[in-house]
Amino acid sequence: MAAKPSIPKGTRDFSPIEMAKRNYIFNTIRDVYHLYGFQQIETPSMEMLSTLMGKYGDEGDKLLFKIQNSGDYFSGITDEELLSRNAAKLASKFCEKGLRYDLTVPFARYVVMHRDEITFPFKRYQIQPVWRADRPQKGRYREFYQCDADVVGSDSLLNEVELMQIVDTVFSRFNIRVCIKINNRKILSGIAEIIGESDKIVDITVAIDKLDKIGLDNVNAELKDKGISDEAIAKLQPIILLSGTNAEKLATLKNVLSASEVGLKGVEESEFILNTLEAMGLKNEIELDLTLARGLNYYTGAIFEVKALDVQIGSITGGGRYDNLTGVFGMAGVSGVGISFGADRIFDVLNQLDLYPKEAVNGTELLFINFGEKEAAFSMGILAKVRAAGIRAEIFPDAAKMKKQMSYANAKNIPFVAIVGENEMNEGKVMLKNMETGEQNLVSAEELIAAVKK
């Protein structure tokens, strides 16, 4: 007996209904990106390892899926190297390519390679899968999709404003209530500066980023473990626990950071973004949150994160400003800002809240029952008109028993069934059955189209 097939851990199959739901997510995001003038690109699933390695830190390098060279990959490798069992060194000899880890590094490579063809500022979006050799667990997969949008080649804060409008529009279309959280790397650098711990900026931000997960006492304990003085931790408390409206927080920060030039610059940038968005009138809440950090060795200005309000789940969108996206590939000085929608988490939120529109997940709208050759031939003529009118329709391919065909319609949640027998053909009409109400009516092709579209 053949062994039962399986798929790699951390990957998934998606059923037709799941794919309909996923496509609803991708299409909604894609439509909003287009509204704001973003253009789509795609990059290969695999990149040269020289492009990927060293861009994500040591841990990231370990999570890269490497692709074994084809042909005789032992050529050029000595017996001594083989016997050394040095996995990292051997991998560099066996593998020249790897699966992309994210969409940002391939995008940076794309910008550098195509710089002479690109019109700056360049507004691009990408909706493609990425791969990470991570330990699979609930909500974490080895293959998953990212939905990124970035603007490169412009320092204007209007880009940040428009990206927040995109976030607001997307989640309004999904009917998901969210809180958009915003902070600024410069504010956090200013805070580290005024408490006398500038060299510990990463340790500080990594710790305070965990405030909502581990609580204030544990954050303070982690800060102390990182060598931050009790005096500095004490100075940090009112800043971490800053409350009030966005305007009140900004006013307090202007006083607290008055001695920090970089800190005040961050306050100024945040104030512009928040005031402009307030004038535009977002549907969702936007909040200045000083505990938001988002991997600060990467971002250089505004940072964003989106939380769903009605479901317990991690962030469902994130992003920020980075000043030197392409510098690692020898093209310095290209500033950019971007966001990434977490399609898999949005999928879970929409499922939990049951927010998928019926039309997004329903496939076939109309099924023609097949009673035989003559009836099928008659049905095919009407079927062509129905499809030309934009109705998703099919005919059962075999002249099977009526019960089997109706079971097929029920299993696929097809809302209408068209029945064509001798009497219907004589009148040039079809019997249309509403599968939800059970109501049946003898109708012409035009009446059938109108009834299904209604």
Is 356 one of the annotated binding-site residues?
no
pTM score: 0.88
pLDDT at 100: 95
Per residue in 244-298, pLDDT (tens digit) is 999 999 999 998 899 999 999 999 999 999 999 999 999 999 999 988 887 656 7
Q: Is the pLDDT score of 156 beyond 60?
A: yes
Q: Does 150 appear as a known binding residue?
A: yes
- How far apart CA 382 and CA 387 sit, in angstroms, is 9
Buried b / exposed e over 213-224, threshold 16 CB at 10 Å, is eeeeeebbebbe
Letter string b/e over residues 233-246, b meaning 16 or more CB atoms within 10 A of that residue's CB: bebbeebbebeeeb
Instruction: Please indicate if the annotation marks 299 as binding a ligand.
Output: yes
298 is in an annotated binding site: yes
At 14-52, the pLDDT tens digits run: 999 999 999 999 999 999 999 999 999 999 999 999 999
Instruction: Dig out the tokens for 261 from the structure.
Output: 């030039």
Is 135 part of any known ligand binding site? no
Per-residue pLDDT band at 236 (split at 50, 70, 90): confident
Percent of the chain exceeding pLDDT 70 equals 94
Is 145 assigned a ligand-binding role in the annotation?
Answer: no
Read off the amino acid at residue 122: F
Where are the chain's structural domains?
185-285, 362-453
Q: For residue range 287-331, what is the model confidence (pLDDT) as tens digits?
A: 999 888 876 567 899 999 999 999 998 899 999 999 888 888 889
Place of tokens 């900004």: 250
User: What is the per-residue burial (b if ≥16 Cβ within 10 Å, else e) of 79-92?
Assistant: eeeeeeeeeeeeee
**Beta-carbon count within 10 A of 439 CB:** 9
- Residue 24 has a pLDDT of 96
Does 52 count as an annotated binding residue?
Answer: no
Mean pLDDT of the chain: 90
Q: What is the pLDDT of residue 93?
A: 67
Whether the per-residue pLDDT at 81 is higher than 80: the answer is: no
Confidence grade of residue 87 (pLDDT, cut at 50, 70, 90): low
362-453 CATH fold:
Rossmann fold (3.40.50)
**pLDDT confidence tier of residue 226, bands split at 50, 70 and 90:** confident
